[in-house]
Structure 1
Amino acid sequence: MKSKKRTTIYDIAEKLNIAPSSVSRALNNSSYVKESTKKLILQTAEELNYKMNSLASNLRKGQSKTIGVIVPRINQNFFANVIAGIEDASYKQGYNLIICQSNELYEKEVQCVNTLINQNVDCIVISISVETINYQHLKNILDHHIELIQFDRVADELETLKVINDTLQASYEAVNHLINQGYKRIALLEGPQSLNIFRQRKEGYLQALKKHNIPIIDELMLENAWTKELGAQATRQLLSLPNPPDAIFASTSDFSALGVLEVATAMNIKVPSQLGICGYSNEDFTEITSPSITTIDQFSVDMGKTIANLYFEEMNNSNVSATPKTISIKPKLITRSSTQRSAE
């Protein structure tokens, strides 16, 4: 069945035999319209089920009251929680979100950016994909005078607002914890080194080994093991070594750590006595695996709120600094059964 035509200001004007401009002014609470006329127009609008076109109204004011968010994957707990935090803070300011996911693909990320630019969003928030090494599409956002906020995975060379985690320190603390639990051959599952967060996590790992005078062994460091399947594949490779590791730090994600745990279970390797496992991100499932997985909480909801509030703060700030602000949030190591040898 064909839907009824949407009521416009012209329908109200026609019914009352007045100018459409008068209806528009009344609906926007203009002082140039008499109170009696305004009351009549509002009453008629309600009778005709008129709905204000807030998008058109906001665009006339030079804003859309919309924030675009681009994440690599919506179904990861970390990114889902960041979005929830952004939405919570934005809703209180009368803003809406448009959410896109790149699926870790550069071309799709570029497409998402172009879509959001064409939607006239006021701000674009992005965590870049693993494939992203060219940043022209991000520069294009700035060329359109749209606020750009990078978070978590950022392009360091672009001077924009940024909200990040101190991932180097978090990784250092995770490896330090493993060493304190008596592990001596600690392997590292790395993410793509094109991304700054994975470079920093590797640096934290290396610093912890150096502090304790533990040799750095190349064959214990495997790159691009950032999904459950790749984590499992890397674990099989590591455990087949003549001298295998006694702990694996999946610095890429908890999904990678889950792949480690599944392989260890299939090979009847006892966790944590024979193999320690530490992940990253504090995904929901890490609490309910057997054993539960030690991980790093990034305070993702708080990060989302910080991102949104940073935008509103900058929007109301008349003193624009030469160097855009970077906010760093300190993650927290969550120790669980998968590394707690001392609790056995």
Structure 2
Amino acid sequence: MKQPKRVTIYDIAKKLNLNPSSVSRALNNSANVSTTTKQLILKTAEEMNYKVNSVAASLRTGNNQTIGVIVPHINQNFFANVIAGIEEVTYEMGYNLVICQSHESAAREVQCVNTLTNQHVSCIIISVSADFEDPGHLESIRKQGIPLIQFDRVADELDTMKVLNDNESAAMEAVCHMIKEGYKRIALLEGPQNLNIFRQRKAGYLAALKKYDLPIIPELIVENAWTKELGATATRKLLNLSEPPDAIFASTSDFAALGALEVATEMNIQVPKQLGICGYSNESFTEITNPSITTIDQHSILMGKTIAQLYFSELKSDVSNHKNQIVTLKPELIIRKSTKRH
């Protein structure tokens, strides 16, 4: 089916036998058009279902009230809530959002950046993909004069505005909690170490072991176990060791923790009596599993609001050559039944 042609100011001008510049002035409420002519043009525009081309308008005015957001996945509670927090603030300010997903692909992430820069968005907000390595496409955003805000997963080496979580202290608190509950052989499911958040969470895990003089056991640290399926595979391998762990810290995600819980149930291992499980992110399902899963809430809606507020505060700032702000939020450990022995 052929799509109907979009109505332009030239179509309106042709129908009314007017100059296109007169139509443009009338649609922009210019005082240089008579009231009678303006009313006729507006009436005709409505009848022809004319819609303003916001991209073209932004090129003319240099003001595009659209912000681009790039996330790995929109169907994860954390990213969905961050977007909701951003939108709550941008809506109040009269801005729109364009949301792109990288699906954890660096190549798709580059495509997303190109799409948004071609649309002349006023700002790009990004949490980088799992296989992110080269920050060249992020540098290109800054070279084009577009403000860039990184959140959660960031390129540490780039001097941009950032909104982060204190992942190291949160991870340390979670592992210390498990140690206090009597767990001694705590396994770590870790994510890709090229990403800042997973390096920080591993550092928190190691700091907790050091604090309580517990040994670091390499076979209890499993790389890239960050989906439900990979979490399940890692847990099965861990629980079949000659000396299996008595707790698992799924520092990657609650999905990995869910995979661990399902394997433990399948192997008739009692949680939390025989095995403690802690996740990360406070996905909605963690409250309704049996047992409910201890996790870390990253205050994602607050993070989203903070990101948007950071942009608008920078927009109002008239200070040149100032230092890019880095805002760090404190996550919250939510203790549930999967780690409570006492």
**Would you say same fold, with TM above 0.5?**
yes
Letter of the aligned partner of 2:308 in structure 1? A
Q: 1:213 maps to what in 2?
A: 213
Residue 15 (structure 1) shift: 4.5
Measured after TM superposition, the shift of residue 88 of structure 1 is 2.4
Is 1:298 aligned to residue 298 of structure 2?
A: yes
Determine the structure 1 residue equivalent to 2:180.
180
Q: Which residue of 2 aligns with 1:96?
A: 96
Per the alignment, in what secondary structure is the counterpart of residue 56 of structure 2?
Answer: helix
Aligned to 1:118: 118
Give how far 1:256 is off: 0.6
Give the aligned partner of residue 226 of structure 1: 226
Note the alpha carbon deviations across 1:253-280, whole angstroms, 9 max, x for none.
0011011101110110000011100000
The residue number in structure 1 matching 2:141 is 141
Distance 2:13 2:107 in 1: 48
CA drift of 1:156 comes to 0.6
**Corresponding residue for 2:275?**
275
In 2, distance between residues paired with 1:192 and 1:13?
58
RMSD: 1.8
The TM-score, its normalising length taken from structure 1, stands at 0.93
Give deviations 1:201-231, integer Å, cap 9, x for gaps: 0111111122222222222211111111111
Structure 2 counterpart of 1:60, which letter? R
> Post-superposition shift, 1:16?
4.2
- Please name the residue that 1:248 is paired with: 248
Structure 1 residue aligned with 2:108: 108
Q: Note closer, same or farther for the CA distance 1:6–1:189 as it changes in structure 2 (3 Å cut).
A: closer
Q: Provide the C-alpha distance between the structure 2 equivalents of 1:89 and 1:314, rounded to a whole number of angstroms.
A: 14
In the other structure, the counterpart of 1:171 is 171
Q: Return closer, same or farther for 1:328/1:236 CA change in 2, 3 Å cut-off.
A: same
In 2, the alpha carbon distance for the partners of 1:102 and 1:12 equals: 40
> Letter of the aligned partner of 1:261 in structure 2?
L
Amino acid paired to 1:316? K
**SS at the partner of 1:244?**
coil
Classify the secondary structure of the residue corresponding to 1:289: coil
Partner of 1:23: 23
Percentage of identical aligned residues: 68
- 1:18–1:161: structure 2 CA closer, same or farther, 3 Å change rule? same
Instruction: Indicate the larger mover: 35-44 or 108-117.
Output: 35-44
Alignment size in residue pairs: 342
Measure, in 2, the Cα distance between the counterparts of 1:101 and 1:3. Answer: 27
Alignment-derived partner of residue 45 in structure 2 = 45
Q: Which residue of 2 aligns with 1:325?
A: 325
Name the residue aligned to 1:193.
193
In 2, Cα distance between equivalents of 1:217 and 1:5? 66
- Would the aligned equivalents of 2:55 and 2:119 in 1 still touch at CA under 8 Å? no
Aligned residue identity for 1:182: G
Amino acid at match of 1:301: I
Normalised TM-score (structure 2) = 0.94
